């Protein structure tokens, strides 16, 4: 993290499991990444949720690398999970947080349980906004 990205938790708000309520980015370029899905190079989706999270991490790392950025440059994340079960949602959050993308989840973040995602069998998707390095 550099001085160009400042993460805050204002007084009087609830404690978070690692993310910040506010992320401020000083002037610069921003990249808005398409939602990263658990599709491999052949377009296949693994059936297991953990394998899907791991594939989303790998795909997200490739996309971040393509714009010369890393997880610490992420300023907003939105995680979509096909589940209404809070334990499943928390498990996905924990797996992402412990992954190589972990620093991306210390910023402004949202975790959503949804009814369905775009690909057959898809259980998770990750949407990232990135402050590009100078």
What span, in angstroms and rounded, lies between the C-alpha atoms of 75 and 23? 6
Instruction: Note the pLDDT of residue 13.
Output: 81
Of how many residues is the chain composed? 134
CATH code, residues 5-131: 3.30.1330.40
User: How much is the pTM?
Assistant: 0.86
- Return the domain boundaries, the chain: 5-131
Instruction: Note the pLDDT of residue 1.
Output: 44
Q: 74: which residues sit within 8 A by CB, 6+ positions away?
A: 64, 101, 103, 104, 107, 128, 129, 130
What span, in angstroms and rounded, lies between the C-alpha atoms of 6 and 74? 11
Instruction: Note the pLDDT of residue 2.
Output: 57
Tens digit of pLDDT at every position of the chain (134 positions): 457 788 878 888 888 878 888 888 876 888 888 999 999 999 999 999 999 999 999 999 999 999 999 999 999 999 999 999 999 999 999 999 999 999 999 988 999 999 999 999 999 999 999 998 87
């Amino acid at each position: 993290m550099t001085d160009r990205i400042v993460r805050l938790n204002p007084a009087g708000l609830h404690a978070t499991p690692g993310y910040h309520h506010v992320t401020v980015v000083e002037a610069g370029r921003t990249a808005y990444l398409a939602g990263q899905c658990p599709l491999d190079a052949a377009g296949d989706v693994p059936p297991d949720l953990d394998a899907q999270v791991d594939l989303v991490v790998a795909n997200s790392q490739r996309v971040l690398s393509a714009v010369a950025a890393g997880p610490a440059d992420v300023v907003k994340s939105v995680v979509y999970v096909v589940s209404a079960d809070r334990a499943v949602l928390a498990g996905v959050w924990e797996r992402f947080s412990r992954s190589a993308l972990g620093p991306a989840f210390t910023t402004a973040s949202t975790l959503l349980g949804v009814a369905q995602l775009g690909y057959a069998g898809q259980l998770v998707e990750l949407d990232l906004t990135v402050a590009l390095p100078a």
